[in-house]
Amino acid sequence: MTSGSLIGASANSGRAAALRDGCIVALALMAVSLAAVLSLPQASIGRAVPQAIIFPPWLPQQDAMARSLAAGHRVLRGGISPFIVIVAEAGAEAARPRGALLMLALAGLAGCLDSRVSMEPSL
């Protein structure tokens, strides 16, 4: 009878160790993801740089552009994905569009978020 209880205790400790390891991996993944998002260049309202406005992925491009226009932004074009809108420098009257997840300064991110193709040859 003692061998049966040892097997049960060993199985429970194995499950607990697997659960602990899974939680550690999940926490590490969340921390790295949060650090990556926080390291992006945030665009503050009123700052004179072009911005990329990121909406939820399920929002159609027409709705994303309409929300950006309604918030007072001058829409330049769509981004590399349908839920990304590239807008001109924000004026004082521009506000954060309804439903926008992120507003990023386009400086340094143009190749990642912008779908525009440069006509100039690279050196």
List, for residues 56-102, the tens digit of each pLDDT value.
Answer: 999 999 999 999 999 988 898 888 888 999 888 766 667 889 999 98
Q: What is the average pLDDT across 18-40?
A: 85
* 74 vs 8, more confident: 74
Tell me the pTM: 0.57
Task: For residues 80 and 89, give the distance between their C-alpha atoms in angstroms, rounded to a whole number.
Answer: 19
Cα(90)–Cα(117) distance, integer angstroms: 23
